[in-house]
Structure 1
């Protein structure tokens, strides 16, 4: 049986017995900058037959999304924005002339029996009431059952 690193049973599960190379990348180095000549050379390399952006990025240690961005810039495309810029909209506040009348629930047809409403209380109890039950009475009943 292949054993993992440091004598533990941890491994890749491949069962080859070969140790894998582990590379630890730290953020100690400063951000690299690329000149225009480098960008042109790398973008041109991605355009060669049989080449992919992924293979060029791996070969040169560059993030693939950076190469994609340089390719879009080379094509003259505008950079895409994922988040829309905030915009201010005009708002006008007006005082209501009269309070709107409370709307009543739509009438239930006589030939259809209303389904009961189930209310699950915080303590786990279930309260089943008719759809035509008074809301204030149901609220009082729920408060009494939760106490």
Structure 2
């Protein structure tokens, strides 16, 4: 009888190779998200390149849009209102007679809206509920 050597089909992994969760810094997340936004249809390719799931990249992109990845976090609560002098500052700020006075509002999600001064508060609240739900 011939003596056969047995090769074990068991593969031993060290603790570094077990696919543990990685902890990405906000700077790394921002870099990866910005790379994924550089061209059309780059999300999946970028996710594969860094070994992350497409859904995780989508979560990071959402956080990036809301400002949660830049260290500031989303603005919560009230934002101070600054009332400026109504006099025009330059030729581009000249007010044409008969125009409707408006207010410009920048929302926390980055959207901007211009509304007439005479807009009822209830209508403004309804608009804000649609444009920036929280």
Largest Rg, 1 or 2: 1
Same fold (TM over 0.5): no
TM-score where L is the length of structure 2: 0.35
Higher-RCO chain (CA-CA 8 Å, sequence separation at least 6): 2
TM-score where L is the length of structure 1: 0.32
| Greater share of helix | 2
